[in-house]
Amino acid sequence: MVNRREQAALLLALRDSGRGWADVTNAVEEAGSALAVLDSLFTPDQPTLDHTPFDAAGRLELVEQEIESWAGEGIHLVTVLDEQYPVQLLMVHQRPPFLTCKGFLDPADQLGVAVVGSRHAGARGLQITREIATTLTKHDITVYSGLAAGVDTAAHQAVVDAGGRTVSVVGTGLRRCYPAENAGLQQEIARTGAVLSQFWPDTGPAKHHFPMRNAVMSGCSVATVVVEAGERSGTRIQARLALEHGRHVFLLPEVVSGTTWGREMAERPNTTVLRDPDHLLGVLDELRAGVPDLIDL
């Protein structure tokens, strides 16, 4: 892990420089140090957002204290400069400059699979979700999902019930929970797996946060399974992003037959129409065999 001051410098630059996250992230990654680029981000013609003089030492100390307060609540910070930052996620354009985490990151998560679908899934969709999540757990595969109602909740709960590892990527800060009724499940996931967020801890839910969350979930995993989704379901965003990221997409037959985008996506390379959990495992064995070579590059 980089030192706390480097982490604080990155957060300070992201929050107060007035520059876009991509600009800040690119500058920091190129320099290999947030402290090294801090002065260039706060120039006389680039005032701070609150229009006050830039006091680097004072502001850094305040941000360090803020990070320490998060740690006191069990919220850990991981930045793009940290070795613990998910390797798979580093490879995608939409990688966030930092993640906050409750729980713990595990190297095995880089071979994890996202299981997503409708918030209003029917009984069959929820049952298939549980079967898929339980099968993945029995084969020691981390299951990612987004803690939303419906399919996400069923996937997370099935893994928890089976004693496996699940990672929730959420669209709020870690001091919040959406939907509120999943607060207990979020705490259980943090105890046995991890809850990840790309937002400041107090951030509430917002519509534009969830596609951002989907990009992170796709980036962290080797594949995405879409169990149930409608024509306008937000789940299609993750399926599209997964293909853009070079990840595999599994579609349930109901998604293909029930949506225009599902039929179109089923014809694209790197997409499989899933027959059953055993079919999923067979394709995953092929995908997982290639991941170490990709990471070594």
Tokens matching residue 287: 């995908």
Lowest-pLDDT range of 81-85, 140-144, 167-171, 291-295: 291-295
Answer yes or no: is pLDDT of 228 > 70.
Answer: yes
Residues of 41-74 as b/e, b for ≥16 C-beta within 10 angstroms?
A: bbeeeeebeeeeebeeeebbeebbebbeebeeee
CA 146 to chain centre: 8
pLDDT tens digits, one per residue of 78-137: 999 999 999 999 999 999 999 999 999 999 999 999 999 999 999 999 999 999 999 999
- Its pTM stands at 0.91
- Separation of alpha carbons 242 and 240, rounded Å: 5
3-state SS, residue 76? strand
3-state DSSP percent of the chain in helix, strand and coil, to 5: 50, 10, 35
Start-end of H helices in the chain: 4-16, 21-31, 34-41, 56-72, 87-90, 123-138, 151-161, 183-192, 209-220, 235-244, 253-258, 260-266, 277-296
The CATH number of 107-296 is 3.40.50.450
Task: Tell me what pLDDT residue 54 has.
Answer: 57
- How is the chain split into domains, by residue range? 4-72, 107-296
Answer yes or no: is pLDDT of 295 > 50.
Answer: no
Amino acid at 70: W
Task: Tell me what pLDDT residue 48 has.
Answer: 53
Task: Tell me what pLDDT residue 47 has.
Answer: 52
3-state SS, residue 53? coil
Tokens matching residue 16: 């107060």
Residues of 212-222 as b/e, b for ≥16 C-beta within 10 angstroms?
A: bbbbbbbbbbb
Task: Tell me what pLDDT residue 296 has.
Answer: 43
Task: Tell me what pLDDT residue 294 has.
Answer: 44
pLDDT tens digits, one per residue of 248-286: 999 999 999 999 999 999 999 999 999 999 999 999 998
Assess contact for 163 and 198: CB atoms under 8 A.
no
pLDDT tens digits, one per residue of 38-66: 878 876 555 555 555 556 778 899 999 99
pLDDT tens digits, one per residue of 184-223: 999 999 999 999 999 999 999 999 999 999 999 999 999 9
Answer yes or no: is pLDDT of 293 > 70.
Answer: no
Task: Tell me what pLDDT residue 40 has.
Answer: 82
- Separation of alpha carbons 272 and 59, rounded Å: 50
- Separation of alpha carbons 12 and 248, rounded Å: 36
